[in-house]
Amino acid sequence: MIQNHQAKQIDAHPDRPLSTWKLFLSLPILSWALYDFANTIFSSNINTIFFPLFLEHAVGGNAVMNQIASTFISYVNAAASFFLVIFSPLFGTTIDRTGKKKSWIVWFTLITVIGTLSMGIFAYYQVPGQLFNLPISLILVIISFVIAKFFYHSSLVFYDSMISDLAPKTQIPLISGFGVAVGYIGTLLGLGVYPFVGDDGYHIAFLLTGALFFLFALPLFFFSKDKKVIQKPDHASFLSGYKDIIATFKEMKNYKPVFTFMISYFFLNDAIATAIAMMAIYTKAVVGFTTGEFILLYLVSTVSSIIGSFIFGFITKAHVTKRAVLYVGILMCLALLVGSIATAKSMFWVAGSMFGVSLGAMWVTSRTYIVELSPENKRGQFFGLFAFSGKVSSILGPLLYGSITWIFAGYGNLASRLAMGSLIIMTFIGILVLFKVKPVKN
């Protein structure tokens, strides 16, 4: 796959895996992992920290308006996820038909970077006027966020499916864990922009994040190439991919395990995506964290994620993948329970650490489980459907959370606690469905 001697060894001897550290340090895998490093900077700085804090600064102000700000953040995230639901299945069929991944990643990354830089520009330069009783500058920041988030998540469909080209199937759990761990190290670097931001310099965070994302994506741009596949003879259009999606759903009975897991992941990701999006404003408005304390909490959670991703990489390799996913789901339930009833900051430190471990571990185990459950000739399509499942939940989760905070806004912080509690129910449902996943017969 890659212009690298070790990569050629992997292709030439697919059943003879490299030693663990030689595997991690081979140029193709290290470049792949550094893209996780790059995109996690975007995910943490934009999705989790500085964009929610920016909206809270612009919309919030008291106990009731903080709930309205929570609703605002939830609905904006749901809007971005709506477009992902429409397009993510098409990306998967494109992978299976053409084998192309890198070129899509490059273009989608560049658009994400432009969108992120635009957020910084519009957050700094105040465009005069209002629309729908909102400043036009705020609306332009929101539009730029929706564009950036859409193309960021779109790139991950191609990036995640690239893992199956890197090494033998037995090594994929280790590579997945390594990539997630390197990604969370990127989060630590991303947090380094905070001293330049202060209390209201959010435009600086947006600009620096865009630049860092671009910089650390470059190794994948230059040191990887798509695995050669035989081009299918049809010349179907991009939009005809919907026919493949419909056909795949009709064949659901033939791929029941992977479809069942996607239903489970739908509920698990519902809790994850919503908690990530709302973490900043929840800790500030409900638990009483300052911005600096939240950054420190996020730092500790990130370190927990790094540890969790590495540990669960080995757990997944040593044990049944389904069991590893179950462990993650249980841990996430406990973290959300502690977070929803936390009355002291110390309790939320515990919740944040547990959620960090479960978050890092979920990416490792779920990505590995899709490879394990899906046939090779449909893997790209199933990764597209995997993203589809996650993104549908990324609409419904924030909508549910935002609607609860909207309806119960008059009760102040109780509204956010109820909304957080709803995520426990989603996680529990995901665990129950997981028990229905049957092993694939080889």
* Domains assigned to the chain: 32-231+238-434 (1.20.1250.20)
Closest CA to 134 of 122, 146, 117, 148: 122
- How far apart, in whole angstroms, are the C-alpha atoms of residue 252 and residue 25? 39
Closest CA to 29 of 43, 41, 40, 18: 18
From first to last of its 442 residues, what are the pLDDT tens digits of the chain? 333 333 333 343 444 445 566 666 677 788 888 898 999 899 889 988 899 888 888 776 666 777 777 787 888 888 888 887 777 667 766 776 766 788 888 999 999 999 999 999 999 888 877 776 778 888 899 999 999 999 998 888 888 778 777 766 667 777 777 777 787 788 888 888 888 887 778 899 999 999 999 999 999 888 777 666 555 545 555 556 667 667 767 777 778 888 888 889 889 988 888 888 888 888 887 888 888 888 899 888 888 887 887 788 777 776 678 888 899 999 999 999 999 988 888 898 999 999 988 888 887 788 788 888 887 777 766 776 776 677 777 788 888 888 998 888 888 888 889 999 999 999 999 999 999 988 766 5
The conformation of residue 130, written as its DSSP 8-state character, comes to: E
Identify whether the C-beta of residue 413 lies closer than 8 Å to the C-beta of residue 289. Answer: no
Task: Please tell me the number of Cα atoms within 13 Å of 4 on its side-chain side.
Answer: 20
62 Cβ contact list (under 8 Å, min separation 6): none
- How far apart, in whole angstroms, are the C-alpha atoms of residue 66 and residue 74? 12
- How far apart, in whole angstroms, are the C-alpha atoms of residue 137 and residue 343? 37
Chain centroid offset of residue 48 CA: 11
pTM of the predicted structure, to 2 decimals: 0.74
